Amino acid sequence: MNTSLPSLFVSHGSPMLLLDQVEGRDYALWGKNLPKPKAILVFSAHWEGNSLTFGEVDTHQQLIYDFYGFPDELYKVQYPSPGAPWLIEEINSLLGMQIPVKQRGLDHGVYAPFIHMWPKADIPVLQMSLPQTMSDKDLYEMGRQLAPLRDHGVLIIGAGALTHNLRAWNPQLGDEPVEWAKVFDDWVEKTLVEGDIDALLNWKKLAPNATLNHPTPEHFRPLFIAAGAGLGDSVTFPTNGFSYGIFTRRSVQFGI
């Protein structure tokens, strides 16, 4: 596939990523190494809905602080990126539907990594909901439909996490991964590198410890949109490692 921009799956991590300049360096370096996009289209695990919906189309003055019990500093973070209303018509045309707009600000699945990757907040951002009514295959096919946007300078991003079991979180665990998280992360890496889309789409049956790593699937599902948009491209992993033994920081880039 000859495209001007890659598609990405960004592991957004904990909201504490906003304050973590050490971990944030990996995201900052990744952002510097990417071509500057004309706009970003993003799907986050933290906005599920019954149908496709566009988020805020004006400057993102109102962020959604969708987390609790964190330091006060996190609730003062701003990321006033411009909106991208001009993208709506093109997306509606590619998907063959008229998608409604909701004045909803960006959630932390978007701005937590973006604040490191594009700290100037000068790239237009358009967020879309992640419909619960769409299967993993539907999301993958939608990614394929949206892929032409890459030729027009639009960066397509799914934001989530390749492992996400909050129930198993233990503050005593270090960065050394537990076995059930590592083998799942290794399986995802191997499946993506081999381009085995059939296996990826059947991850609930084929991946080791699938339910243990994802008691609910919303953090894994944005990967299918990014994979669909990047069909046939090379795969690299710009961020890696584990936090608290169970949360992989692996992100995925489809294309160069």
d(Cα 123, Cα 42) in Å, to the nearest integer? 12
- At residue 69, φ and ψ (nearest 5 deg) are 80, 20
Nearest to 94 by CA among 58, 125, 52: 52
Q: What is the mean pLDDT of the chain?
A: 93
Q: Are 237 and 23 in contact (CB under 8 A)?
A: no
- Residues 6 or more apart from 34 whose CB is under 8 A from it? 5, 6, 117, 155
Q: What is the dihedral of CA 48, 64, 220, 11, to 10 degrees?
A: 160
What tokens does 209 get? 């410890």
- Quick: pLDDT tens for 65-100: 998 888 899 999 999 999 999 999 999 999 999 999
- Report pTM: 0.95
Structural domains of the chain ordered from first start? 7-254 (3.40.830.10)
Interatomic CA distance for residues 228 and 116, integer angstroms? 25
Phi, psi of 139 (to 5 degrees): -65, -40
Per-residue model confidence as pLDDT tens digits over 142-168? 999 999 999 999 999 999 999 998 777
Three-state secondary structure call for residue 155: strand
pLDDT tens digit sequence for 214-226: 999 999 999 999 9
Q: How far apart are CA 102 and CA 213, in angstroms?
A: 32
The pair of structure tokens assigned to 162 is 């390749």
